[in-house]
Amino acid sequence: MLLSGQDVAYYDSGNSLSPPADYLDSYLMVDFVADTSTENTVNGVAGQPFAGLALSLNGGDGANNQISPDVVTVNNSDFAGDLLQYGTAAENLAGLHVGLCRPYRAVFLAFGLEGINSRSDRSQVMAQSIAWLMQTPPAHGVELTATEGTQIGNFGDTVAHTFRLRNTGAAADTFSLARAGLGPYNWPTSAPSSPVGLASCASRQIAVTVQVPVTKSWHITDSFTISAQSTAAPTLTDVITRYTKTPAPVLLVDDDRWYSFATEFKQALSDNGIPYDYWLVPKAFTGSEPPSPPASTLAMYPMTVWYTAYDWYQPLTVAEEERLIDYLNNSGRLFFSSQDFLYRHKLNHSGNYGPFAQDYLGVLAHTEDFTTTVASGELDNPVGTLLGPYPLTFPAGYQNFTDALTPTTSAGVASRGQADQPNGLTNAGITRIVYPAPTPPTIFTETWRTNFLAYGPELLGRSERARLMQRSVGWLSWLGASTVTAEANSVSSGSWITFTAAITNDGWDDLTTATFTATFPAYLTPGSGTFNWSGPLAVNQSTTFTYTAQINQPLPAGTVISQTSWLAYPAHNIRFDRVAAVPVTPNFSESSLGVTPAAGIQQSDTLTYTLVLRNRGMVGSGAVTTTNTLPNSLQLLGASAQAGTVISSGNALTWTAASLGVGAETTLTVRAVVSATGVGTIRNVAQVDDGFNRAVVLSADASFKVWPWYLPVIVKNATP
């Protein structure tokens, strides 16, 4: 049968009011893709019966009626094959043929034959269709088909490859199977069972095993071929090539929904030359749990990059959280980005924060839907130092549900948003594992690390995303615990800075080679010490060295002296930087706010607050502004400053200190009366702004007197 016509697939696939027609799906093996092709050129698919045909729709002496030719696809390649395509895109199928191992033959054209713009071309299509339809099915044929892609096996594991051998001929046949190694490593591979007899159109699953070497060479691939030869017609053969590889150092888990960002994350890793394996979590699945990487798969990878992007429906299940906890406890390292993970996480944990969020990602609390618009790296954080600010660009329909984070005491702030809110965290820990047998017990300590972002890196530009990924994977890597620090007594021209580098391997295996290279900006002249190092580094081994540099010019206040060092190890093809920073700014982080009395207060008591500004920075300050608005339960009586001016209005006051030199201190005293009764604590909060750094927040608590109750209460002559 030859069937042609625009909109046949559209209507008979159920896209109109009519139900789907069984013949289209079950007999012609057609699935509808799109109602109207954007191409009017139609070409024969290479290697198929119409190969070499080049047709055009509309115009010429054709019917000129092709308004909406359909785009289709083959739904069962066991029996049907591609025939014609629109333009040069293989996915834009315009026609197919059916007949392999079927008791009938059919040609389906998703456009009207009458619309071809040349009579000779129409005649040729008709002639070739009839010729193919009238052919007698071949007596003999052979087909090898893979049932899976490249197989990834852990070191020392045996990997099974399965493929299907099918007799595509009309007569029974026997097939000889042979294996040949292609290399380049020639891993031990089993031979397939041979010979194999099959009836017409019958098939059999064939298995071949490959032994992955114990020696750890990451992200390498070996290959072999299987050939099948017909005994009845020895010239008929089919060959299939199979690939086996060792794990990459990074597993990329694509767990997004509604919007796809696989390209963005693959680019971020590839732009840094970081090898990775890719796992796609299906968006639709059967059962209660999505088919995300099982524990056995995660255990193969030193580092995992997992993202959920816009998914608010099911970012992570509780089972996935528990699986990731187990992965981290066994020295795994995790990058995780998700703007709505915490929303769903608390719903899954009865309104509380579970262990994965708090103990491992480092989230003490969060502010839902804070709507971050920018990510700026945090100074002195291994991921964030001097990164950004990077603006976030949201695609149409991708709503900004990003959260603000409050870190636990163990976690570090990696980045902040436009209102100084943390939106990225780093965390690390050590898990102590005790194996009681054999005696005496064996104790292992496993180091884990995480980098959690409450926004998606897919919202960054390509270069910014790659830079962030370079830093993050560096933090997660086996050299991620390495540090480079700076010590300076002065930042004036001619002063010296001493740098200390500690290069540490806290990974799974010894590193045969690790490298360190110190680089310097133009305002630093290298002095003495070790600027370059390369050598082996055993597990839990660290090597430490120092070097110096001299400031060779005056630096304006606000400069951040930054010395960048590059760390790398070829085993994972990881290269990242660590920045030792010395801010040329004042530093008031050691300032304090105290209150007297701090306990047992009552209404009408007078509280005295003492705020001490301490400049522990490298340079003197300009004007320092301290703002303080007393709580409603207090009434301001007055304020006096050791230096500077104080302006007050109601319960609000502003203290401006003209300048403080390095190491200098100055004091503000504030007196207030307790104007209300209460229980609990009065917290007074002040902010110090030096014009360079993030405002320093100071607080002081005064608690109300607690009155004792004596039970039971007995009252004489009380009326019940």
Each residue of 14-31: pLDDT tens digit? 887 778 999 999 999 999
**Residue range 235-239: mean pLDDT, rounded:** 96
Last residue of a domain, one of 245, 267, 286: 245
Q: Please give the tally of structural domains in the chain.
A: 5
User: Do 259 and 379 share a domain, yes or no?
Assistant: yes
Q: What is the pLDDT of residue 713?
A: 66
692, 626: one domain: yes
Domain termination site, one of 532, 555, 583 = 583
> What is the pLDDT, as a whole number, of residue 438?
60
> 244 pLDDT band (50/70/90 cuts)?
very high
Determine the pLDDT at residue 464. 98
Distance CA(325)–CA(282), nearest Å, equals 22
* pLDDT value at residue 446: 74
Stretch 336-347: mean pLDDT: 97
CB neighbour list of residue 148: distance below 8 Å, 6 or more residues apart = 161, 162
Q: Are residues 273 and 301 in the same domain?
A: yes
Q: What percent of the chain has pLDDT over 70?
A: 97
Same domain, 448 and 492: no
Between residues 438 and 384, the one the model is more confident about = 384
- Do 128 and 112 sit in the same domain of this protein? yes
* Residue 379, domain member (yes or no): yes
**Structural domain range at position 336:** 250-476
Query: Averaged over 685-698, what is the pLDDT?
Result: 95
Q: What is the pLDDT of residue 445?
A: 66
Q: Is 149 part of any domain?
A: yes
Q: Is residue 282's pLDDT more than 60?
A: yes
Tell me the backbone φ, ψ of residue 527, rounded to 5 degrees: -105, -110
Residue 539 lies in a domain: yes
Neighbours of 712 (CB within 10 A): 4
Q: Which residues of 309-346 are buried (b: 16+ CB within 10 A; e: fewer)?
A: bbbbebbbeeebbebbbebbbbbbbbbbbbbbbbbbbb
107, part of any domain: yes
| Helix residue spans in 349-490 (DSSP H) | 355, 462-476
pLDDT for 285 = 73
Answer yes or no: are the C-beta atoms of 682 and 601 closer than 8 Å.
Answer: yes
State whether residue 638 is helix, strand or coil.
strand
pLDDT, one tens digit per residue, over 42-92 is 999 999 999 999 999 999 999 999 999 999 999 999 999 999 999 998 889
pLDDT digits (tens, 9 = 90+) for 400-435: 999 999 999 999 999 999 999 999 999 999 876 555
pLDDT at 715: 65
Distance CA 328, CA 362 (A): 13
- The pLDDT of residue 718 is 61
User: 713 vs 35, which has greater pLDDT?
Assistant: 35
Helices (H), 207-352: 262-270, 295-298, 318-329, 341-348
pLDDT score, position 283: 82
pLDDT 10s digits, 638-683: 999 999 999 999 999 999 998 999 999 999 999 999 998 878 899 9
> Is pLDDT of 458 > 90?
yes
Q: What is the mean pLDDT of the chain?
A: 94
d(CA 56, CA 91): 18
500 within some domain? yes
User: Residue 246 in contact with residue 211, Cβ under 8 Å?
Assistant: no
Concatenated DSSP letters for 198-236?
A: E-TT-EEEEEEEEE--SS--TT-EEEEEEEEEESSSTT-
Q: Is residue 718 part of a domain?
A: no
pLDDT value at position 272?
Answer: 98
User: Same domain, yes or no, for 284 and 205?
Assistant: no
Question: What pLDDT, on the 0 to 100 scale, is given for residue 441?
Answer: 61
Shared domain for 120 and 167, answered yes or no, is no
Which residue type occupies 82?
D
Tokens representing 692 are 């360079």
- Residue 373, domain member (yes or no): yes
Measured CA distances, 332 to 12, 364, 508 (Å): 52, 22, 9
CB 265 within 8 A of CB 252: yes
Split at pLDDT 50, 70, 90, the class of 102 is very high
Residue 214 clears pLDDT 60, i.e. is over it: yes
**Token pair recorded at residue 304:** 């995992």
Q: Predicted confidence band at 716 (pLDDT cuts at 50, 70, 90)?
A: low
pLDDT at 433: 58
- Alpha-carbon distance 414 to 422, whole Å? 8
pLDDT tens readout for residues 361-406:
999 999 999 999 999 999 999 999 999 999 999 999 999 999 999 9
Q: What is the DSSP string of 504-530?
A: EE-SSS-EEEEEEEE---TTEEEEEE-
User: What pLDDT shows up at residue 435?
Assistant: 57
- Is the model's pLDDT at 442 over the cut of 60? no
CATH number at residue 286: 3.40.50.880
SS3 390: strand
**H helix runs in 358-503, sequence order:** 462-476
Tokens 């004007």 identify what position?
623
Dump pLDDT digits (tens) for 623-649: 999 999 999 999 999 999 999 999 999
Residue 17: predicted pLDDT: 74
Last-in-domain residue among 245, 263, 291: 245
Where residue 558 sits, what CATH number does that domain have? 2.60.40.10
687 belongs to a structural domain: yes
Looking at residue 233, what is its pLDDT?
A: 96
- Same domain? For 315 and 451 the reply is yes
Are 201 and 186 contained in the same domain?
Answer: yes
Per-residue pLDDT of 286-331, as tens digits, reads 777 889 999 999 999 999 999 999 999 999 999 999 999 999 999 9
Task: Give 551-562 pLDDT, tens digit per residue.
Answer: 999 999 999 999
CA 490 to chain centre: 41
In a shared domain, residues 438 and 351? yes
Measured in degrees and rounded to the nearest 5, phi and psi for residue 713 equal -85, 120
Tell me if 338 sits within 8 A of 311, measured CB to CB.
Answer: yes
**Residue with more model confidence, 133 or 431:** 133
689: Cα within 13 Å, side-chain hemisphere: 9
- Considering the domain architecture, whether residues 129 and 180 belong to the same structural domain is answered as no
The per-residue pLDDT for range 463-490, each reduced to its tens digit, is 999 999 999 999 999 999 999 999 999 9
Mean pLDDT to the nearest integer, 557-574: 96
Residues 239 and 256 in one domain: no
The pLDDT value given to residue 719: 64
pLDDT at 440 over 80: no
Q: Which H or E run contains 22?
A: helix 22-22
